Amino acid sequence: MRPRKIPLRKCVACQQMMPKKQLIRIVRTPEEAILIDLTGKKAGRGAYLCGKVECFKLAKKTKALDRALKQPVGAEIYDQLEQDFIEVEDTFIANKDRNDDDE
Ligand SMILES: [Zn+2]
């Protein structure tokens, strides 16, 4: 029996490799909007963050998203994303537990 391969992605803030499901995807859409993508399936360039507000704050401080998305991210966009991040955090944590067995 071969162990199941878990896709790993790196958190752009703390640089930790984590299973994809434990990360929140931020996407830059083809329209150049920057949003949180809880489905992980939106088109565009993605960056991953641990599902923790602390990591978001770190990304904001170090401008990690600017680098990961290869686009300057304005302070107001970081503020907006931070609010969204806090809002989705609970949903994200709940879904994470529920979806752990699929794939
Ligand atoms: Zn992190």
CATH number at residue 42: 3.30.1230.10
As a whole number of angstroms, the distance between CA 4 and CA 44 comes to 27
Ligand 1 centre from 33 Cα, in Å?
Answer: 22
Query: Would you call 100 helix, strand, or coil by DSSP?
Result: coil
Q: Is 29 domain-assigned? A: yes
Q: Is 101 domain-assigned? A: no
pLDDT tens, residue by residue, 17-67 = 999 888 999 999 999 999 999 888 999 999 999 989 999 999 999 999 999
Domain with 86 in it: 8-96
Percent of all residues in the chain with a pLDDT value above 70, rounded to a whole number: 92
Q: Which pLDDT value is given to residue 91?
A: 81
What does the block give as tokens for 91?
A: 């949903």
Ligand 1 centre from 1 Cα, in Å?
Answer: 32
Name the domain count of the chain: 1
Does pLDDT of 99 surpass 80? no
Q: Is 39 domain-assigned? A: yes
DSSP 28-82: E-TT--EEEETTS--SSEEEEEES-HHHHHHHHHHTHHHHHHTS---HHHHHHHH
Amino acid (1-letter code) at residue 95: N
Number of CB atoms found within 10 A of residue 17's CB: 10
